Amino acid sequence: MANPILLMEAAKKVWDFCNKTEVQAFIKQIKDKVTEMKTLSYDVLMEMVVKEKPDDERVVAAAILREKKGEVTKISVVYLNSKNQPIFGDGNGKDYGFSLQSTLVNPDIDDLFGDKDLVLLT
């Protein structure tokens, strides 16, 4: 089992990094390419995280950010390197990461996030 303190430190680093201007611009870019879904569940989210994972040896983890605005939930996924820093793309125009949006969210998504809005998958 992973050390919870190390995971929290890694999550804090990702959160701090995600609040930098260039990262915010990237997150806005993937949010603008949002995929609307009728219902969002844990299984669908995890399937998308695996399916969309870039074939890039630098990618070793993913950060999942949740935003709730009224009845709409938006999930953005950013892929990370071994230092928990986002990898924005392949450098040849292929962006890494994606966003999903739904008004119907299964309780298993809330269970995944608990009272936080950031989950780190390693």
Would you say 40 and 73 are in contact if contact means Cβ atoms under 8 Å apart?
A: yes
Domain ranges of the chain: 4-121
Q: What share of the chain is helix, strand, coil (3-state, %, to 5)?
A: 35, 30, 35
Cα separation of 91 and 19, whole Å?
A: 22
Cα distances from 96 to residues 40, 73, 120, in angstroms, run: 21, 21, 16
Cα separation of 4 and 1, whole Å?
A: 9
The tens digit of pLDDT for each residue in 67-109 reads 999 999 999 999 999 988 888 888 887 888 899 999 999 999 9
**The model scores a pTM over 0.85:** no
Backbone angles phi, psi at 90, to 5 degrees: -90, 0
The tens digit of pLDDT for each residue in 109-121 reads 999 999 899 899 9
